[in-house]
Amino acid sequence: MTRKMMAKVSELSMNQANALHLQQEVREREGELEQCYVRMEKGEPPSEEIYRGWEKMMRDETRRTTDKQTAIMAEEAMEQYTIAGGITTTAEPRPNAYIPDDESELPIPRPYGSHQPFKPHEPGSSMRHIRKPIPKPIEI
């Protein structure tokens, strides 16, 4: 036998071994498929692996939807802090107009003018060094 024939024979034996392995794998998969059908008829998930994959897919889907909702809410919050002209600020918006309660007028916002309501800011970090006053009881 020549080397060429030897190479062809060894290649053929490798292909036959591969075919036997693939046939065995097909039989195993068909058995798994039959078990999946039996479990599905009973109302159970086809297999534990498929059930875990389904749970993971549903968990990822709910996470994506919550991420989208939080992104939309964050975007809406950022729109609240956008001033005319496209400038963004972190200051909380304050009212500059009020709607009158009069029955005779239309409910159109009326500007406050120079007498806007006072809104104090949050106390700073240095306030922790100051004692809180103890109110004296009022005697009548």
Number of alpha carbons in the 13 Å side-chain half-sphere of residue 60: 6
How many separate helices (H) and strands (E) can be counted in the chain? 2, 4
**pLDDT exceeds 80 at position 40:** yes
- Does the pTM surpass 0.95? The reply is no
Q: pLDDT-derived band of residue 14, with 50, 70 and 90 as boundaries?
A: very high
* Cα–Cα distance measured from residue 82 to residue 89, given in angstroms and rounded to the nearest whole number: 6
Q: Average pLDDT in the 1-23 region?
A: 93
What is the Rg, in whole angstroms, of the alpha carbon atoms belonging to the chain?
A: 38
pLDDT in tens, 85-105: 778 887 777 777 777 777 766
Q: pLDDT-derived band of residue 113, with 50, 70 and 90 as boundaries?
A: confident
| Number of neighbouring beta carbons within 10 Å of residue 62 | 10
Residue 115's pLDDT is 76
